[in-house]
């Protein structure tokens, strides 16, 4: 501006330096700082104690080991600590090498802590950000909190507190990405309560081994129709289904193992069948290929989908109506002391009876009868176990009348949704991913229960069915009225 004429110099541009921005509290007068200092110090101490308590809560074994090593180091020097650690590691390695099972059982807690630290806590922030599971509000980042982890060998159960405004469905959508990020084969999302979910990060399938049938029960009074054991769940517990007041639909492609589920049920009921407390009715449109293996278990069985099959369905539907009218005002539902047997209808290939039947009239009669049984059979003590390969609406138009639906191996995800209902597959019930090498494995969903269950039915061999036949005919309490070929 005031450059002299002819001068070689020009005015420099005004120096633009960003003014350093100091934290607001530095501007406070000295006496205020002095007053709040102890408060801040106390707060920092409480925070540190909180962090330490959290550390001890999630890693009690690791914290004890590190503390022990530090004390030992201070007391006896580095060499002794080094030797103790080496001996411990060597011992653990040998134990693992000699007996993986006992090692895994006993070292579960240590494994849990190590996995929580190295696999989950280590990468948690990055994975949450990259999976878009964090949120920002008023410039602050909100992140889901990693809570308790439990390593069970085949899966890690990881509890999470979601951020506000988040839904479990958002996690279910990202399940595959989470599985890859945490080096797992698959990931399922389970809701524990408001804002709390649990991720199941699966590493291997615990249901690969064939499960032989247990020793046949012989005490009829010990059989509980509300809890019939038909196999094992993936957590190692008995897989139980409810027959009393329930209608069950089992869907699976050819070779999915529907037969093993059927015979596991009959096996568990054997003592009640023998004493006549349970009466089985069967329809096997495949000419007796399935139910014909042990016909003596059935009070009545029809091999075909013709008029005899329809008449049998109508007979049971009539039984439902007759019992219902008799119970009216006397009893609310069937119990053991009601003086008549619990009726279980088993239909091996349901589609043949209610869909592929070429005679339109027969088809309609079969559908009507089955609808009566499934919709009204609950209270009068009439249950159904229907098996089918194709779950489409055209085949089973009244799927919703079955309270328990079991999806064995299926071809497509859409079929899983048809069987188990919307949203169940997203929660992990991927029946279309069941391996061909594990027949008998299934996902089951009961009405009223949010979480589906994965289990494997016992495998019934020919010898088992022969034994079942001998047992049932041995006392000859239940007369077999024969297979009626349609």
Ligand X SMILES: Nc1ncnc2c1ncn2[C@@H]1O[C@H](COP(=O)(O)OP(=O)(O)OP(=O)(O)O)[C@@H](O)[C@H]1O
Q: Which residues are annotated as a binding site?
A: 252-259
13 Cβ contact list (under 8 Å, min separation 6) = none
How far is C-alpha 355 from the geometric centre of its chain's CA atoms?
Answer: 31
Q: Identify the burial level of 469 via C-beta atoms within 10 angstroms of its C-beta, where 0-12 means exposed, 13-18 middle and 19 or more buried.
A: middle
Asked if 256 touches ligand X (CB under 6 A), the answer is: yes
Instruction: Please give the residues from 309 up to 328 whose contact with ligand X meets the rule CB under 6 A.
Output: none
Pick from 144, 168, 206, 252: which binds ligand X (CB under 6 A)? Answer: 252
Between 199 and 346, CB nearer to ligand X: 346
Q: Is 254 in the site for ligand X (CB under 6 A)?
A: yes
* Residue nearest ligand X, Cβ-based: 440
88 vs 103: CA distance, rounded Å = 14
Stretch that binds ligand X, among 86-94, 162-170, 323-331, 452-460 (CB under 6 A): 452-460
**Which range, of 24-32, 40-48, 123-131, 456-464, touches ligand X by CB under 6 A?**
456-464
Of 173, 167, 122, 130, nearest to 146 by C-alpha is 122
Cβ-proximal residues to 445 (8 Å cutoff; 6+ apart), any chain: 404, 405, 406, 407, 419, 420, 421, 424, 429, 452, 453
What mask of x and - would describe binding to ligand X in positions 378 to 397, judged by CB under 6 A?
-----------x--------
Q: Does 288 bind ligand X (CB under 6 A)?
A: no
Residues 208-237 binding ligand X (CB under 6 A) are 210
Instruction: Look at phi and psi of residue 165 and say left if phi exceeds 0, alpha if psi is from -120 to 50, else beta.
Output: left
Could you list the residues known to form a binding site for ATP, using ranges: 252-259
**Residue of the chain from 144, 168, 206, 259 that contacts ligand X (CB under 6 A):** 259
Q: What is the 3-state secondary structure (H, E, C) of 314-332?
A: HHHHHHHHHHHHHHCCCCC
End-to-end CA separation in angstroms for the chain: 112
**For residues 178 and 431, which CB has a smaller minimum distance to ligand X in the complex?**
431
Indicate whether 459 belongs to the interface with ligand X (CB under 6 A): yes
Is residue 444 near ligand X by the rule CB under 6 A?
Answer: no
Out of 288, 439, 452, 483, the only residue in the binding site for ligand X (CB under 6 A) is 439
Site size toward ligand X, by CB under 6 A? 15
Token reading at 97: 């090498």
Q: How far apart are alpha carbons 460 and 453 in whole angstroms?
A: 21
**What is the closest distance, in whole angstroms, from the C-beta atom of residue 467 to ligand X in the complex?**
17
Binding site for ligand X (CB under 6 A): 210, 252, 254-260, 389, 439-440, 456-457, 459
């Amino acid at each position: 501006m005031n450059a002299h004429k002819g001068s070689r110099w020009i005015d420099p541009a005004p120096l633009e330096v960003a003014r350093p921005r100091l934290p607001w509290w530095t501007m406070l007068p000295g006496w205020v700082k002095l007053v709040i200092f102890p408060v801040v110090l106390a707060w920092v101490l409480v925070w540190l104690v909180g962090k330490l308590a959290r550390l001890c809560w999630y890693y009690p074994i690791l914290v004890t080991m590190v503390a022990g090593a530090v004390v030992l180091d201070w007391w006896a020097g580095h060499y002794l600590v080094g030797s103790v650690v080496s001996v411990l590691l060597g011992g653990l390695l040998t134990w693992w090498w000699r007996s993986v099972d006992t090692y895994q059982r006993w070292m579960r807690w240590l494994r849990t802590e190590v996995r929580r630290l190295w696999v989950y806590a280590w990468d948690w922030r990055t994975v949450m950000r990259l999976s878009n599971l964090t949120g920002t509000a008023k410039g602050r980042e909100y992140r889901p909190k990693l809570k308790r982890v439990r390593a069970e060998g085949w899966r890690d159960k990881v509890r999470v507190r979601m951020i506000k405004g988040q839904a479990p469905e958002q996690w279910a959508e990202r399940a595959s990405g989470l599985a890859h990020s945490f080096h797992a084969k698959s990931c399922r999302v389970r809701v524990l309560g408001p804002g709390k979910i649990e991720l199941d990060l699966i590493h291997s399938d615990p249901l690969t081994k064939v499960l032989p049938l247990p020793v046949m029960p012989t005490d009829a009074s010990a059989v509980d129709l509300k809890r019939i054991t038909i196999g094992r769940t993936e957590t190692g517990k008995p897989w139980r289904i409810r027959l009393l007041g329930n209608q069950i639909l089992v869907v699976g492609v050819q070779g999915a193992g529907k037969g093993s589920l059927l015979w596991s049920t009959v096996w568990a009921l054997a003592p009640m069948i023998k004493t006549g407390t349970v009466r089985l009715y069967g329809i096997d449109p495949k000419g007796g290929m399935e139910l014909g293996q042990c016909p003596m278990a059935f009070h009545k069985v029809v091999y075909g989908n013709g008029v005899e099959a329809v008449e049998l369905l109508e007979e049971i539907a009539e039984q439902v109506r007759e019992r219902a009218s008799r119970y009216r005002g006397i009893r609310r539902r069937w119990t053991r002391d009601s003086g008549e047997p619990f009726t279980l209808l088993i239909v091996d290939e349901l589609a043949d009876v209610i869909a592929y039947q070429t005679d339109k009239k027969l088809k309609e009669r079969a559908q009507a009868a089955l609808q009566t049984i499934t919709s009204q059979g609950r209270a009068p003590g009439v249950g159904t176990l229907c098996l089918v390969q194709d779950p489409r609406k055209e085949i089973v138009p009244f799927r919703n009348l079955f309270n328990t639906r079991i999806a064995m191996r299926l071809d497509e995800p859409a079929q899983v949704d048809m069987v188990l209902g919307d949203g169940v597959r997203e929660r992990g019930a991927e029946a279309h991913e069941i391996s061909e090498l594990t027949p008998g494995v299934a996902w089951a969903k009961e009405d009223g229960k949010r979480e589906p269950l994965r289990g494997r039915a016992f495998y019934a061999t020919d010898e088992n069915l022969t034994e079942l036949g001998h047992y049932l005919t041995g006392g000859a309490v239940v007369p077999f009225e024969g297979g009626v070929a349609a």
